[in-house]
């Protein structure tokens, strides 16, 4: 055994095979964490794959065809789920469709691989002109393809999918090799050329996104299933108790000058724009809440504590750091908080950002009163000092502002009970297929009253591409499309994969059950998976449903978790032993089980196993337990199975790998009723 360990370190691939046996050595438990941590970097090399061709972009090209419509896009992997009667994409009609993934899959050494599929309908996988799999699907039961030889570097791959005649359509593709455990193909191994079809389709997709992001549908009324068509804007009720007059005046006059990148347009024009904006601001400032923001007592050390909180919450993912010397149009400056918020209102905003704006992208961190005060104190301490102006109280000015609010289109987006909206524009259906004037004009016509957006040339080009389409995509919706769009808008990748405790974004898809993911994203889950982390997952209530479901469907899983196999009480009893230190894998060294605490945590503890079944897709759990390093090379979770999938505990279930994993899963299914491990 000692020589096998030494030899393994000299050969990374042998290490990947030897590690399970090494971990099972009786005299190693106390040193397991250190050993695993030291070897994972080498294991990562053993299971990694070289990137695709330099001229390729990551992922594969996906083409969807339904009737006489098609859609093309770049995707991270091979997986989709289309419920019966729903469209495969917003850009193709519901009904019968076909899907084709193409590009290159790259490996670091010449070797044999097997491709596998779980699917309904028919699936054909071709690699380097050799058919690996060509079969009818068996639902969640995995169909194995024929072994194919793959060359070092890029290999052509094409995946053709035809859904069943009836029922839900889904497909998930995996691969495996001698030293590559059964898993989806990682995006780092996939690449494809950007075709004109993808470029054209992405331009229409971007135009559709801009149309909803800038609330164009609020003036040019449009109906459909796209969730953003129901998105609100900040409510005007009580806004005078939340925002300062001077900031409101500057914001209304020229929003883009106050906050670069904002979707809010300037609606006042001409030589009277500044005076008109001040009148609107005076009217808005007069709209007071029934109760002013509560007075806040700020402790002397609040700002310093708030600075630490700012760092722990990773606010820099979306906001410029207070000491930033360069502007970033993708990040929002916080230098204006003193100019923007009335006394006490910043604390109230931080506690519940969506109070007056449900679709706000500002996350809700569920701050306590003390935390909100601390964070507000810090932000105010580093903000620019404003020159406050008192709002004009003259009735004529306030009345003028009210009239402008009613006549300028403000109420098309913003709500205000009792106000009369007197602004109207042509509905979307009445607009021509070519958009060259008004809000999207290249050059603003003299005297134009159209809203002025901060569109650049590419934005206008994308909007025109959307206008020239049939626009039927507004009437269609898929959670996967919503996930792609809003995960970018919410900057999900600015935390995931970049900060400790935030799994890489590509690891989330296909990992979480949609029911749990929706609760977690909405902020309604009552427990924190990693309570030892100072950072925390914020809540996005308005986005949660489609984000949580999209994480599943984009990877080939249903919007509702499929029924699991029937419980097996006898295997669950074996699972107790497998999790225990007495003759098992000693999972309890790092993981708690309900109230039974982890026994030998040297670094970060593992997630409480009592919650694993409600969180994890069974498919992900099986793959994860089989080989954690092949899914996440940074994981401290050891691998307990050899390259053939056999368990290191040969005396339990005869070392049968799948049965061993099933036994652990049966134990986890008991949830809060799990008996304590030995």
Give residue-wise pLDDT tens across range 341-369: 999 999 999 999 999 999 999 999 999 99
At residue 444, the pLDDT reads 86
Cα separation, 518 vs 187, in Å, equals 25
Closest CA to 367 of 539, 542, 547, 548: 539
What's the full length of the chain, in residues? 678
Give residue-wise pLDDT tens across range 237-250: 999 999 999 999 99
CA angle at residue 60 from 58 to 61, to 5 degrees? 120
How crowded is the C-beta side of 466, counted as CA atoms within 13 Å? 23
Annotate 112-143 with b (16+ C-beta within 10 A) or e (fewer): ebbbbbbbbbbbbbbbbeeebbeeebeebeeb
Q: At what angle do helices 273-285 and 245-253 cross, to 10 degrees?
A: 140
Q: Which of 21-25, 303-307, 563-567, 637-641 has the lowest mean pLDDT?
A: 21-25
Q: Is the pLDDT of residue 64 over 90?
A: yes
At residue 17, the pLDDT reads 42
Q: Is the pLDDT of residue 25 over 80?
A: no
pLDDT average, residue stretch 8-20: 43
Cβ neighbour number for residue 297 with a 10 Å cutoff: 7
β-strand 69-75 against 111-119: which pairing, if any?
Answer: unpaired
Q: Is the pLDDT of residue 627 over 80?
A: yes
The residue whose two tokens read 């008004």 is: 438
At residue 509, the pLDDT reads 78
Cα separation, 644 vs 377, in Å, equals 58
Strands (E), 6-138: 57-58, 60-66, 69-75, 79-82, 98-107, 111-119, 122-127, 130-136
Q: Which CATH class is domain 57-194?
A: alpha beta
Cβ proximity of 670 and 568 under 8 Å: no
What are the CA-CA distances from residue 395 to residues 283, 340, 538 (Å)? 9, 24, 43
Cβ proximity of 150 and 112 under 8 Å: yes
For residue 243, what are its two tokens? 């925002």
Q: Is the pLDDT of residue 10 over 50?
A: no
At residue 54, the pLDDT reads 64
Closest CA to 215 of 414, 356, 395: 414
Cα separation, 356 vs 358, in Å, equals 7
Q: Give SS3 for 369.
A: helix
Cα separation, 122 vs 124, in Å, equals 7
At residue 48, the pLDDT reads 44
At residue 532, the pLDDT reads 84
Reported as a pLDDT band with limits 50, 70 and 90, residue 266 is: very high
Give residue-wise pLDDT tens across range 486-529: 999 999 999 999 988 888 998 887 999 999 999 999 999 988 99
Q: Is the pLDDT of residue 38 over 50?
A: no
At residue 608, the pLDDT reads 93
Reported as a pLDDT band with limits 50, 70 and 90, residue 150 is: very high
DSSP 8-class letter at 155:
E
For residue 519, what are its two tokens? 């609760």
At residue 127, the pLDDT reads 98
Q: Is the pLDDT of residue 201 over 70?
A: yes
How crowded is the C-beta side of 343, counted as CA atoms within 13 Å? 6
At residue 47, the pLDDT reads 40
Q: Give SS3 for 676.
A: coil
Q: Give the dihedral of Cα atoms 344, 346, 352, 354; nearest 10 deg.
A: 120
Cα separation, 174 vs 579, in Å, equals 28
% of the chain surpassing 90 pLDDT: 80
Cβ proximity of 372 and 351 under 8 Å: yes
3-state SS, one letter per residue, for 540-603: CCCCHHHHHHHHHHCCCCCCCCCCCCCCCHHHHHHHHHHHCCCCCCCHHHCCCECCECCCCCCC
DSSP 8-class letter at 357:
-
Tell which wins on pLDDT, 445 or 371.
371
For residue 246, what are its two tokens? 């001077």
At residue 501, the pLDDT reads 82
The residue whose two tokens read 């909206």 is: 421
Domains 57-194 and 239-382 share a fold: no
**What DSSP string runs through 468-500?**
HS--GGGG---HHHHHHHHHHHTTGGGTTTTST
Cα separation, 474 vs 662, in Å, equals 44
Provide φ and ψ at 484, rounded to 5°. Answer: -60, -45
Q: Is the pLDDT of residue 287 over 50?
A: yes
pLDDT average, residue stretch 645-668: 96
Contacts of residue 426, Cβ cutoff 8 Å, sequence gap at least 6:
220
Q: Is the pLDDT of residue 52 over 60?
A: no
Q: Where are the domains of the chain?
A: 2-45, 57-194, 239-382, 479-553
Cα separation, 90 vs 475, in Å, equals 8
Average pLDDT of every residue of the chain: 91
Cα separation, 116 vs 132, in Å, equals 9
How crowded is the C-beta side of 357, counted as CA atoms within 13 Å? 18
Q: Is the pLDDT of residue 540 over 70?
A: yes
Q: Give SS3 for 89.
A: coil
Cβ proximity of 8 and 18 under 8 Å: yes
% of the chain surpassing 70 pLDDT: 92
At residue 41, the pLDDT reads 39
Give residue-wise pLDDT tens across range 583-625: 999 999 999 999 898 888 767 788 999 999 999 999 999 999 9
CA angle at residue 581 from 663 to 12, to 5 degrees? 80
Cα separation, 537 vs 530, in Å, equals 10
Give residue-wise pLDDT tens across range 422-474: 999 999 999 999 999 999 999 988 888 899 999 999 999 999 999 999 999 99
Q: How far from the centroid of its chain's Cα atoms is residue 213's Cα?
A: 17
Cβ proximity of 101 and 61 under 8 Å: yes
CATH 3.30.379 at 239-382, yes or no: no
């Amino acid at each position: 055994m000692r020589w096998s360990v030494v030899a393994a370190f000299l050969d990374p691939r042998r290490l990947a095979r030897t590690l399970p046996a090494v971990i099972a050595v009786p005299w190693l438990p106390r040193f397991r964490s250190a050993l695993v941590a030291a070897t994972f970097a080498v294991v990562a090399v053993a299971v990694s794959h070289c990137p695709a061709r330099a001229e390729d972009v990551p992922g594969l090209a996906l083409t969807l065809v339904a009737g006489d419509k098609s859609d093309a896009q770049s995707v991270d992997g091979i997986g989709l789920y289309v419920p019966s009667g729903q469209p495969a994409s917003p850009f193709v009609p519901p009904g019968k469709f076909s899907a084709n993934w193409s590009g290159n899959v790259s490996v670091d050494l010449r070797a044999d691989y097997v491709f596998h599929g779980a699917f309904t309908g028919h699936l054909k996988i071709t690699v380097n002109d050799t058919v690996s799999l060509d079969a009818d699907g068996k639902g969640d039961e995995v169909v194995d393809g024929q072994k194919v030889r793959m060359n070092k570097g890029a290999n052509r791959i094409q995946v053709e999918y035809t859904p069943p005649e009836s029922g839900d359509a889904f497909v998930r593709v995996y691969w495996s090799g001698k030293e590559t455990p059964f898993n989806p193909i990682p995006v780092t191994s996939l690449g494809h050329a950007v075709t004109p079809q993808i470029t054209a389709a992405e331009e229409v997709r971007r135009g559709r996104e801009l149309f909803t992001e800038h609330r164009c549908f609020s003036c040019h009324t449009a109906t459909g299933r796209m969730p953003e068509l129901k998105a609100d804007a900040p409510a005007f009720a009580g806004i005078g108790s939340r925002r300062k007059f001077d900031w409101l005046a500057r914001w209304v006059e020229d929003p883009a000058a106050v906050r670069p990148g904002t979707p809010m347009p300037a609606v006042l024009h001409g030589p009277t724009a500044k005076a008109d904006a001040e009148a609107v601001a005076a009217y808005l400032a007069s709209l007071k809440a029934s109760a002013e923001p509560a007075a806040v007592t700020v402790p002397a050390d609040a700002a310093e504590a708030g600075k630490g909180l700012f760092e722990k919450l990773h606010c820099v993912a979306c906001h410029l750091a207070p000491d930033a010397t360069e502007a970033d149009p993708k990040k929002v400056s916080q230098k204006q908080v003193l100019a923007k918020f009335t006394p006490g209102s910043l604390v109230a905003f931080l506690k519940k950002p969506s109070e007056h704006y449900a679709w706000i992208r500002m996350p809700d961190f569920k701050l306590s009163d003390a935390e909100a005060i601390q964070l507000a104190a810090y932000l105010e301490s580093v903000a620019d000092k404003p020159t406050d102006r008192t709002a004009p109280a003259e009735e004529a000015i306030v009345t003028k502002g009210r009239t402008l609010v009613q006549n300028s289109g403000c109420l098309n987006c913003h709500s205000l009970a009792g106000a009369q909206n007197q602004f109207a524009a042509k509905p979307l259906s009445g607009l021509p297929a070519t958009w060259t004037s008004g809000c999207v004009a290249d050059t603003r016509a003299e005297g134009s009253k159209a809203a002025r957006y901060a569109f650049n040339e590419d934005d206008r080009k994308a909007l025109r591409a959307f206008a020239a389409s049939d626009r039927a995509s507004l009437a269609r919706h898929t959670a996967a499309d919503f996930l792609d769009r809003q995960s970018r808008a919410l900057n999900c990748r600015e935390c995931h994969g970049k900060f400790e405790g935030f799994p890489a974004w590509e690891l989330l898809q296909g990992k979480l059950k949609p029911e749990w993911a929706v609760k977690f994203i909405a902020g309604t889950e009552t427990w924190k998976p990693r309570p030892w982390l100072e950072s925390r997952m914020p809540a996005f209530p308005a986005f949660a449903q489609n984000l949580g479901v999209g994480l599943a469907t984009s990877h080939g899983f249903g919007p509702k978790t499929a029924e699991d196999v029937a419980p097996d009480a006898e295997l669950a009893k074996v699972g107790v032993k497998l999790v225990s230190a007495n003759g098992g894998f000693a999972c309890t060294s790092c993981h708690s089980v309900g109230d039974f605490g982890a026994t030998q945590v040297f670094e970060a503890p593992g997630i409480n196993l009592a919650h694993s079944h409600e969180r994890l897709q069974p498919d992900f759990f099986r793959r994860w337990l089989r080989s954690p390093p092949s899914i996440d090379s940074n994981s401290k979770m050891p691998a307990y199975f050899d390259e053939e999938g056999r368990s290191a505990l040969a005396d339990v279930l005869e070392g049968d790998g799948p049965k061993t994993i099933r036994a652990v899963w049966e134990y986890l299914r008991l949830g809060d009723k799990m008996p304590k491990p030995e």
